[in-house]
Each structure stands twice: as C-alpha cells, then as structure tokens.
Amino acid sequence: MTAGPVFPELFSPMEIGGLTLRNRLVALPAGTSLVEHGVPTEGDTEHFERLAAGGVGMIVGGATVVHPTTTLRSRKLVEAYQDEVIPATAKKVAAVHRHGARLITQLVHLGREFIGGESDSPPVAPSSLKTNRDAYPPHELTIAEIEDIVDGWATSARNLIAADVDGLEIHAAHGYLVAQFMSPLTNRRTDSFGGGFENRMRFGRLVVEAMRAQMPAGKLLGVRLSGEEEIPGGMTIDDCVRIAEYYADLGVDYLSITHGTRGSYVKDSTQPDAVAVGSAARVRAATGVPVLVGQRIRDAATAEHIIKRGQADLVGMARALIADPELPNKSAEGRMLEIRGCLGVNQDCRAFDPHLHCAVNAEVGRGRHRNVGMRAPETKEVYVIGGGPGGLEAARVAAERGHRVTLFEGATELGGAVRTAARSPHRSTLIDIVDYLGHEMRRLKVDVNLAAAIDPDDFTEITGIADHVIVATGSRPAPIPGWLPQHASATVDQAILGDLPSIDTRNAVVVDDGDGFWPAYNAAEALAQQGWRVTLSTPLTSLCSRIPAESVGPLLRRLAEAGVTLEVARTLEPGGDGSLQSRPVFGGEPQIIPESLIVWHQPRVPLSPFAIDGGDTTISQIGDCVTPRRIGHAIAEGYRVGAEI
C-alpha cells in the first residue's frame, strides 16, 4: 500500500536515511512481554507480523534493554545484549518484511527506574537520587561502570544489526538513563559526565558513537526525547530543542518526540489528543531532522492534518494499533467506521498480566482463534440476549463466520452499563466500542431488536427456535443498604446521570465500599462538577487501588482541584439515634456525618433472569451476568463464544 485517496499525505512514501518507507504511519514502541528469558517468543513475532500486515510503514519495537544492570527478575524485557536474541529477532524481521514494513528496535537502559518490577541488580543512575516510584535509592555509577554500559549498547546494536533490523532507536525520553544524564534534576555529578550541558550530554554522545560503529550504511538511527517531562524541575521544550539540535549535529536520522516521564507518558482518555504535536513542530523547525510524533493520536485524520501542516514527518500510534492493527489499511481504503478504536483506558494494555492484552481486541495476547477468518461448516440460528459489549462482540464474531444472528436488547440503545460509564467526566471515549460494534451489526446484517426485553417465557420460546443462545444480560448497581433509605441516597449510576433525590443540602458523601475502581470516583467528580461539596470515603487502605496507574495522578489532581475530600480506612454505619457516622476501620472515635446525600457503591450485581441448565451446550452465558468484571472480560468471552459456535 503506497497511497490512499482519503489521506494522501499520510499514505505517501518517504525516503529517510537511505530507506524508503511505504507510508508515514509508525507503530510506536509498545513491549508485549511475550518474552522468555529475555528472548522474544513466537507470540511476540505474531504480534509484530499483524502490525506489519495491517499496513504501517514502520514499526518501532520497544522494551529492549542493553545491559544486565537493567533486567527485570521476570526476564520479560528483550535483552539485546544476549546472542540468543539474534535468531528470534531475525524471524521477527522476516515476518515484518514479508508484509512490506520496516522494523526499528528501540534500545533502553532504565537507570534508576524499574517500571514496577523487581530486579536482582541494584538500580543505577548518574547520581544517587531516589524516585518516588521505587523503594531504593540508585547506586551512583562509576566511570568504569558507565563505560561498561556503553559497551552494552554497542553489543546490543551489533546483535540486532546481525538480525537485519532496519534501524535502531535510542530511548532518551521518559526519565530513563540517557535522560537522567541529560537533566540537571537527576544529574548532580561534578566529573566529566555532570555539570554543564556538554558534560551532561557526554553519555548520550558515547552511546550514539558506540551504536554507529556497529551500523552499516542504510540503517536508521533515531533518538526519542521528551518534549516536556511534565514534572517539577524537569526538562521543558526549550531544553528538548537544545538537546535535539545536539543530536542532529551528531547525524541521527530522525527524532521521536513525546511528553512525560514514567507513570505519566501513557496518556489516558482524560488527557487531550495529540499532546506532543506542538513540541514536535518546534523540534522539526529547529533541527531540520525528520521528526516522528506520537502520543494519543488515534486516527488517520489527525495524522494527515499533522503532516499537512508540517508539524512532523512521521506520525506514530501505539494503543490505537493494538486495538486495531488494520487501522492503516482500513483508513487508506476509507473504511473508517470499521476501525475498532482505542478507548484510552489503559486497563489491559498496561497491566502486563502476564503480558500485553487489550480491552477491546481479544486477540491481543491470546492470538487469533483458530475459527476466526473461516466460515462455520454449518450456518446456525444464533440468538443473543443483551446488547452490551459482550453480546455485541459475540454477535459480531458469529455473524462474520456466516451464522444468522438475532440480538435482543431491553433498552432503547445498545451499550449496557458502558453507556452510563461513558457519561462520566472525561470518560466519553468508552462509547466508542459501542459505536464500533453497532456499526458492525449493520454491516454484518445482524437483526437488532431494541426495547425488546426477554422474560423467562420468551427465553423458553427462544431456546426452542435457536440453534444457540448467548445470554449477555449484564449487571445492575448493587442495592443500597437497608439502613440508608431513611437518608437521601443514590447509586453511582444515578449520580453520574444526574438522577438524584431532592435534598436541602449540597453535601455529598460517596462511599466506595471495597471496589477501588472507577465508578465511585466518577460519581465524586460528577457531583463536584455539579457544585456539590463532596467527600469520598472508602474502607480500603489506599485510593484508586484498581484504577490503572497512569490514570491515578491525573484523577487525584482533578479531584483535589474540585475540592473533593478523600478519606481512606473509614466505614459508614448507622448511629444510635438514626444519624450516620464515619468510623475508622482500625479503631478510633467515629465522627457524625452532617446531613448529606449518600452515594453508595459496591461491585455490581449480575442480572441472571433465566433458569439455565449448566449442561446445555447450546446456551452460553458471558460477561457481567456471570459475574460483573471489566469490558475486556466481556469482549474476550463474547469473542470466544462467537468463534466456537
């Protein structure tokens, strides 16, 4: 694919460093953790092959470390300094080249960061300054240790070039080791590797020189930089431009621009789209070097606009291509409504449990089901009860395989609980999965019946007609405790939707009774936006305990700015005189709660309206009606059931 009539700039070829890219769309570094003992597995290769087949021009493979001092105990990062990576990487390169894409490998030393995993090596850094993310202060590197790590970059480069990668990228962003040397915030050395700008850049220059010595002509060398580190005292765009000019003078082939440091660079749905584009434009104007920009760029139209305006030469996506590796091909062909969009929730793609997954794409981390892509040997009548994500995904996959599918949804709109969650502040992208699957119902001619609740008698009739019935009836909010109705009370769904009882006060207490996930926090933020004085209280000993890590900081900042009071290790209970009191979980005097709206949240309750024989293989139950969980669980179960009918 070399051109697209809809996005002519994005799908035009580009010459860079002696290589031709078929288009300007890049799959950004996103490690899979499909790695054993530091060596990529077949699952990792399959993931990269799907990206290449989906139509990108270039793939940058991430999570590749250069030295034993930066390995994790799990060995889930690719260890490029091992000779064993050469044949495994060669297979990956061949798979990518088969589909016409180019493969670059990003090399990194994490320095004082250990990205949430344990290591048998101590953390190391230019200076012994501890992060607030890890437990231990780093060991300050000696000159000999610095030289040994630079040798690790050379060895890693030599191994990857032997595997025929098209180029290499130095990870000098996100507060990892190269960035730690560059920043005065993390480099307090007084020797030749610290102090003035030239000294702080010395480590990066040595890395460039060591890698170039291993790279023949025609292989790309790029550098990734944080345009803004977004931390107090961190590097800003002015620093980045100066650093970019330095690397340009060293002759690198491209610069990749992003924002943030560890814990903040994977922007969730509460962050603006295309956040680093302004920084990329400044770097491009200052250096004249080709610039790659990424970070929360989710569609080809945005990418086209960036290139047309001259803000960057290449546009990268990571999570959007995990959600739908076919995004480039579909965009070039004008099939935008068939693109499965990234929700930006960071739930599965950032959990690495034990490797990469995706909330909306069940094939990521599991592989494609053997039946998907093949028509079923026999066309069956399939009835789906419930139009939430699980039921819709089951209907999609079954219809793709040639079955006649009929879907019943009791509400007047598709989406189930997701539709309510998408009404939460900053969470509107959740509805994208419903819009995508709704379009798929129309494309695949699924017979969708809205406002069509199925009662037990209807269910008995349906099971006599259909060859297979999929029950995906979802869940409902947990009931409010019996002692609360004497007080003004509501569920989190009611708070999010604004369906609240009349009350004289504007005080609200949101109780997260042991969940630790988004619903209670969404309700607290929604009420604060409506002018309520909000307290969020939980018996848990920490806040946001099940919310993805990159979302916690922005969420807590927004709640603080809105004046929300946060209380941990406290439980609500009735007082002896009909009042409410907040009692410390681990002992202490209770406090009487003044008149308030009480918004109560416990994990949702399954909606299982039918008596089902567990041994009946023609009936499947999926998603929240089995037990309430997350979107990713419902999608994965719907995918599996649809594939196995």
Q: Name residues whose C-beta falls within 8 Å of residue 526's C-beta, 6 or more positions apart in sequence.
A: 424, 425, 495, 496, 498
Whether the Cβ atoms of residue 57 and residue 46 lie closer than 8 Å to each other: no
Q: Are 60 and 28 in contact (CB under 8 A)?
A: yes
Give yes or no: residues 469 and 587 share one domain.
no
Residues 66 and 143 in one domain: yes
Q: What pLDDT was estimated at residue 116? A: 80
Question: CATH number of the domain that 399 lies in?
Answer: 3.40.50.720
**Same domain assignment for residues 465 and 538:** no
Asked whether the CA dihedral 160, 161, 163, 164 is positive or negative, the reply is: positive
* Shared domain check, 511 and 469: no
Q: How many CB atoms lie within 10 A of CB 584?
A: 15
Q: What is the number of domains present in the chain?
A: 3
CB atoms within 10 A of CB 563: 10
Spell out where 271-387 has E strands: 291-293, 314-317, 381-385
Q: For the range 303-306, what are the long-range contacts, defined as Cβ-Cβ under 8 Å and sequence gap of 24 or more? A: 303/7, 303/10, 303/24, 303/25, 304/7, 304/8, 304/9, 304/10, 306/274, 306/277, 306/280
Query: 349 lies in a domain?
Result: no
Instruction: Give CA–CA dist 399/446, Å, rounded.
Output: 7
DSSP secondary structure string for all residues of 114-146: -TT---SS--EESS----SSSSSPPEEPPHHHH
Structure tokens at 468: 């297979």
333 within some domain: yes
Strand partners for 331 = none
Does some domain include residue 243?
yes
Please state the pTM of the whole predicted model: 0.95
The CATH number linked to 540 is: 3.50.50.60
Q: Tell me the chain's radius of gyration from C-alpha atoms.
A: 27
470 and 496 co-located in one domain: no
CA–CA separation, 239 vs 388, rounded Å?
48
Supply the pLDDT for residue 337.
Answer: 96
- In the block, tokens 């449990």 appear at 353
- Same domain, yes or no: 154 and 300: yes
Instruction: Give residue for tokens 């598709």.
Output: 414
Residue 492's alpha-carbon distances to 526, 551, 601, in angstroms, are 10, 19, 6
Q: Which pLDDT belongs to residue 6?
A: 86
Q: Are 25 and 10 in contact (CB under 8 A)?
A: yes
On whether residue 2 sits in a domain, the answer given is no
Helix (H), strand (E) at residue 357: none
Quick one: which of 462, 323, 490 has its CA closest to 406?
A: 462
Quote the CA–CA distance of 315 and 293 in Å, as a whole number.
5
Containing structural domain, residue 464: 381-477+607-644
pLDDT tens-digit readout, 523-575: 999 999 999 999 999 999 999 999 999 999 999 999 999 999 999 999 999 88
Q: Which of 518, 516, 538, 526 lies closest to 490 in space, CA to CA?
A: 526
Per the CB < 8 A criterion, the answer to whether 29 and 326 are in contact is: no
Edge to edge, the sheet with strand 447-449 lists: 447-449, 404-408, 381-385, 468-471, 619-621
Same structural domain for residues 64 and 40?
Answer: yes
What is the CB neighbour count within 10 angstroms for residue 442? 10
CA distance 299 to 323: 12
| The pLDDT value given to residue 135 | 85
> What DSSP character marks residue 424?
S
d(CA 448, CA 450): 6
Q: What is the DSSP string of 561-621?
A: HTT-EEE-SEEEEE-TTS-EEEEETTS---EEEPS-EEEEE---EE---S---TT-TTEEE
Token pair in block for residue 72: 């994790």
What is the distance between the alpha carbons of residues 465 and 467, in angstroms, rounded to a whole number? 7
Within a domain: 376: no
User: Which residue(s) pair with 505 in the sheet?
Assistant: none
Which residue in the block uniquely carries the two structure tokens 């990062």? 77
d(CA 60, CA 225): 14
In this structure, are 450 and 556 located in the same domain?
no
Residue stretches of the chain with pLDDT short of 50 = 1-4
Query: Is position 352 within any domain?
Result: no
Phi, psi (deg, nearest 5) at residue 556: -65, -35
CA atoms within 13 A on the CB side of 137: 8
Last residue of a domain, one of 279, 308, 338: 338
What pLDDT shows up at residue 395? 98
List 254's β-bridge partners, or say none.
Answer: 222
Q: With contact defined as beta carbons under 8 Å apart, do 192 and 186 qualify? A: no
**E strand intervals along 371-429:** 381-385, 404-408
Please indicate, yes or no, whether residues 326 and 299 belong to a single structural domain of this protein: yes
Q: Residue 114: count other Cβ atoms within 10 Å of its Cβ.
A: 23
- Cβ proximity of 527 and 508 under 8 Å: yes
Domain of 234, CATH number, reads 3.20.20.70
Domain presence at residue 357: no
Are 68 and 112 found together in one domain?
yes
Residue 361: inside a domain, yes or no?
no
Residue 305 tokens, joined:
């606009």
One domain, residues 418 and 513: no
Cα separation, 479 vs 419, whole angstroms:
20
Q: Are residues 611 and 596 in the same domain?
A: no
Q: What angle do CA 43, 48, 54 make, to 5 degrees?
A: 125
The full DSSP string for 217-280 is TT-EEEEEEEEE--STT---HHHHHHHHHHHHHTT-SEEEEEE-BTTTSS--TTSPTTTTHHHH
